[in-house]
């Protein structure tokens, strides 16, 4: 019988990230300059990112080496375990085997530290003193603040206002790591002041917070911008999740029929899914279903249009070919702050357009019901974002029960929900309401 907990020794921490671009049958459309609308080059990105990350952004090499210092810090929590959710399987009375990769074991409680450490390291090597960033639910802001402190950098975080109010402990966590954090829109930037002039009660959005963080970086010589999702190099760093999971599923003696992750910008979904997609891209694997799960209130992949759009509200970022709801879209203040983004990672959009992956959308009510079911079976209270992956896994496990088929399901538990208890209280008291 397979162990409930499948672990790898520290010696099995991957030495290289997997670059999915190298295996694309058709190339990814280039990012375009926001003014000239011509493909951006390294010089265009240099005011925002260090050259090391710009090179990773456009690299077509199949692997990218992980620096020794970053691997040493990864040992704090990597390799992360894969669990067999036997109690959940029993509660569902399903023949499906359900596994989950548990990224909530990181010091900051989510997968976000995987790329935060790498980005902080590259910036440190190039003499950068300070990083600015945005954060939705706060997971990314906490991760970058932690990484900056470990790499001796300053950190400035613009947190979407509704999450800043809903999740006070995440902003306190940023301060605990030595970072500075303000609610977005703020009075510190032109983009923030403009948004507040239009709507003093603006709940904010990730796109708006990005505008503020990018503006902050551009205006200071000692500062670069760091992003927690969407861009190629961020998704690249997260593939350490799937690389470990492939070894762990081999140890379990099973291969997934479904690989599932929640989707906002695309980082944790890509981190688990991309290594498993290599066979599909090469035409050697046809049965695997890879599913990105998003909220009904922000249905970027399921309802958005694939076109060139800005990554931020102000239109300061390069134009990206991605599924988008429009860069001016301000999502409802649902509790899945990390999934409230108008666009999607260009790499994920490219895969969806090529029909290598699927997308699903669910209401936050359904996802919280599944999150509580999971917590009562498996013990871990998941982040509201991760609850979307859990709900999809349950949906497909119940389909397997109805069909009388054994299916193997693997999903990413991207973070814990210990700082999201106000959202759980809303759900348990019946005051949450349905997604718009």
Average pLDDT over every residue of 164-169: 88
Q: Are strands 223-225 and 258-262 parallel, antiparallel or unpaired?
A: unpaired
- Tell me the DSSP string of 198-262: H-TT----HHHHHHHHHHHHHT-TTEEE--SSSSHHHHHHHTHHHHHHHHHHHHHT---SEEEEE
Q: Name the β-bridge partners of 291.
A: 260, 358
More confident: 434 or 410? 410
Q: What is the CB neighbour count within 10 angstroms for residue 263? A: 36
Provide the CA 120 distance to its chain's centre, in angstroms. Answer: 17
Provide the CA 21 distance to its chain's centre, in angstroms. Answer: 18
Mean pLDDT of the chain, nearest integer: 93
CA distance 390 to 293: 9
Collapse the DSSP code of 382 into the 3-class scheme (helix H, G, I; strand E, B; otherwise coil) and give the result.
strand
Give the residue among 82, 60, 59, 61 at the shortest CA–CA distance from 12: 82
Map out the domains of the chain as residue ranges: 5-12+68-109+233-428
Compute the radius of gyration of the chain from its Cα atoms: 20
Torsion 91-259-309-122 (CA) sign: positive
Query: Are 288 and 273 contacting, i.e. CB atoms less than 8 angstroms apart?
Result: no
CA distance 317 to 272: 27
Give the residue among 372, 394, 393 at the shortest CA–CA distance from 382: 372
pLDDT digits (tens, 9 = 90+) for 190-242: 999 999 999 999 999 888 998 999 999 999 999 999 999 999 999 999 999 99
pLDDT above 70 for 434: no
Give residue 436's pLDDT band: very low, low, confident or very high (50, 70, 90). Answer: very low
Reduced to 3 DSSP states, what percent helix, strand and coil does the chain have, rounded to the nearest 5? 45, 20, 40
For the domain with range 5-12+68-109+233-428, which CATH number is right: 3.60.15.10, 3.40.50.1100, 3.40.50.620, 3.40.50.280? 3.40.50.1100
More confident: 116 or 137? 116
Give the residue among 66, 51, 58, 78 at the shortest CA–CA distance from 17: 66
pLDDT above 80 for 69: yes
- Tell me the DSSP string of 316-334: -SPEEEEEES-TT------
**Ramachandran category for residue 421: left, alpha or beta (phi over 0 → left; psi -120 to 50 → alpha):** alpha
Torsion 177-108-159-114 (CA) sign: positive
Return the percentage of the chain with pLDDT > 90, whole number: 82
Q: Are strands 258-262 and 408-413 parallel, antiparallel or unpaired?
A: parallel
Classify residue 287 by its DSSP letter: S
pLDDT digits (tens, 9 = 90+) for 28-50: 999 999 999 999 999 999 999 99
pTM, full prediction: 0.94
Tell me what pLDDT residue 435 has: 40
pLDDT digits (tens, 9 = 90+) for 95-115: 999 999 999 999 999 999 999
């Amino acid at each position: 019988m397979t162990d409930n907990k499948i672990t790898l020794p520290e010696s099995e921490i991957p030495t290289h990230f997997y670059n999915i671009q190298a295996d694309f049958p058709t190339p990814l459309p280039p990012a375009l300059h926001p003014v000239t609308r011509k493909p951006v080059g390294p010089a265009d990105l240099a005011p925002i990112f260090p050259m090391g990350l710009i090179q990773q952004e456009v690299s077509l090499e199949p692997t990218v080496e992980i620096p020794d210092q970053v691997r040493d810090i990864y040992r704090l929590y990597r390799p992360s375990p894969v669990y067999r959710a036997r109690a959940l399987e029993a509660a569902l009375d399903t023949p499906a085997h359900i596994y989950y990769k548990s990224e909530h074991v990181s010091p900051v409680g989510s997968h976000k530290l995987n790329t935060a450490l790498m980005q902080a390291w590259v910036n440190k090597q190039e003499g950068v003193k300070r990083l600015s960033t945005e954060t939705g639910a706060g997971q990314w802001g906490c991760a970058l603040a932690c990484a900056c402190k470990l790499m001796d950098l300053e950190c400035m975080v613009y947190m979407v206002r509704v999450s800043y109010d809903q999740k006070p402990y995440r902003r306190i966590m940023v301060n605990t790591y030595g970072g500075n954090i303000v609610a977005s829109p703020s009075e510190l930037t032109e983009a923030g002041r403009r948004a507040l002039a239009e709507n003093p009660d603006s709940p904010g959005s990730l796109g708006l917070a990005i505008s503020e963080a990018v503006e902050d970086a551009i205006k200071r010589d000692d500062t670069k911008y760091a992003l927690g999702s969407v861009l190629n190099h961020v998704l690249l760093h997260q593939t350490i999740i799937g690389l470990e999971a492939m070894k762990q599923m081999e140890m379990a003696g099973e291969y997934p029929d479904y690989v599932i992750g929640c989707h906002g910008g695309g980082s944790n979904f890509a981190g688990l899914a991309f290594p498993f997609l290599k066979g599909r891209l090469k035409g050697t694997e046809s049965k695997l279903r890879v599913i990105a799960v998003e909220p009904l209130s922000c249905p970027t992949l399921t309802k958005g249009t694939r076109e060139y759009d800005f990554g931020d509200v102000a239109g300061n970022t390069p134009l990206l070919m991605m599924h988008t709801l429009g860069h001016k879209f301000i999502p409802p203040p649902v509790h899945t702050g990390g999934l409230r983004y108008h666009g999607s990672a260009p790499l994920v959009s490219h895969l969806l357009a090529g029909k290598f992956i699927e997308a699903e959308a669910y209401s936050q009510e359904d996802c919280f019901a599944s999150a509580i079911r999971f917590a009562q079976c498996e013990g871990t209270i998941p982040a509201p974002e991760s609850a979307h992956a859990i709900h999809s896994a349950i949906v497909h496990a119940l389909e397997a029960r109805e069909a009388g088929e054994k299916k193997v399901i693997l999903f990413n538990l991207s973070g814990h929900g210990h700082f999201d208890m106000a959202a759980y209280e809303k759900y348990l008291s019946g005051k949450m309401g349905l997604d718009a």
